[in-house]
Amino acid sequence: MTGPADPAPIRREPPAFREVTVAAVVERTPHLRRVHLSGAGLLGFRVDEPGASVRLLLRRAGVLELPEWTGNEFRFVDGARPPIRTLTPLRADPVAATLDVEVVIHADVPGPLSEWARTTEPGDTVAVSGPGRGYPVDPAVRRYLVAGDESALPAIEQLLEVLPPDATVDVVIEVAHPDARLELPDHPGATVAWLDLPPGRRPGDALVEAVTTRAIDPEGRVWAAGEAAAVQRIRKHLEAVGIPRPRTTVRGYWKHGRAVGG
């Protein structure tokens, strides 16, 4: 005899979606676009830590519909999954009610978010929910390794702006195209290595090779983000060389081979 089925797991409800308007679109590189968002829904919207996240709700069939929280996920009234993507909030002004996000344009594996960033115009509406947890900076740490691909550029920019100025910061960034490089915020202790992904290699290979061949200070901190399988390889390497997990932050932002959005 079997008992009743276990109840469905209930997750903490995320912040409600706020309707916003596209105010401007700026091409930072041929592969990266910054979208300025504004609107009364962003009044009081604060992002207090670097590397945080926001959910971006795109329109369905040209119409912005706000979904409902089911206890586990957001769904439309008809049960369909809403087109939600996760991004790093680059800059938020809770008084001016503005928010900047940046999206990588994936020409080879297009997805809803990439297509939105490529075609959106001022006046278009979307919605945002957040922010999610960011990266708490320990002001006592004096050595950092920061590694990522193009999808991690907004977070890397934020980290360079807030990491202690007397810290040594080793920055490693993999790009699929040389013209994806851009000017990063100045940090007096930072050295930046741009890695071009060789033709035919899997995204993340150059980044993994760079990280795994570096001598990593066990007292320092490691922040890495990018293609999911690549950063998982980085995580395993850090564990193998004895870097305590509390001193590492490793985040998968997208998956190679899947129709991605940013």
pLDDT in tens, the chain (262 residues): 444 444 456 778 899 999 999 999 999 999 999 999 999 999 999 999 999 999 999 999 999 999 999 999 999 999 999 999 999 999 999 999 999 999 998 766 668 899 999 999 999 999 999 999 999 999 999 999 999 999 999 999 999 999 999 999 999 999 999 999 999 999 999 999 999 998 889 999 999 999 999 999 989 999 999 999 999 999 999 999 999 999 999 999 998 876 444 4
pLDDT digits (tens, 9 = 90+) for 175-185: 999 999 999 99
Separation of alpha carbons 118 and 82, rounded Å: 20
Whole-number pLDDT of residue 11: 78
- Pair of tokens at residue 44: 């009081």
Whole-number pLDDT of residue 12: 85
Whole-number pLDDT of residue 109: 61
The reported pTM is 0.89
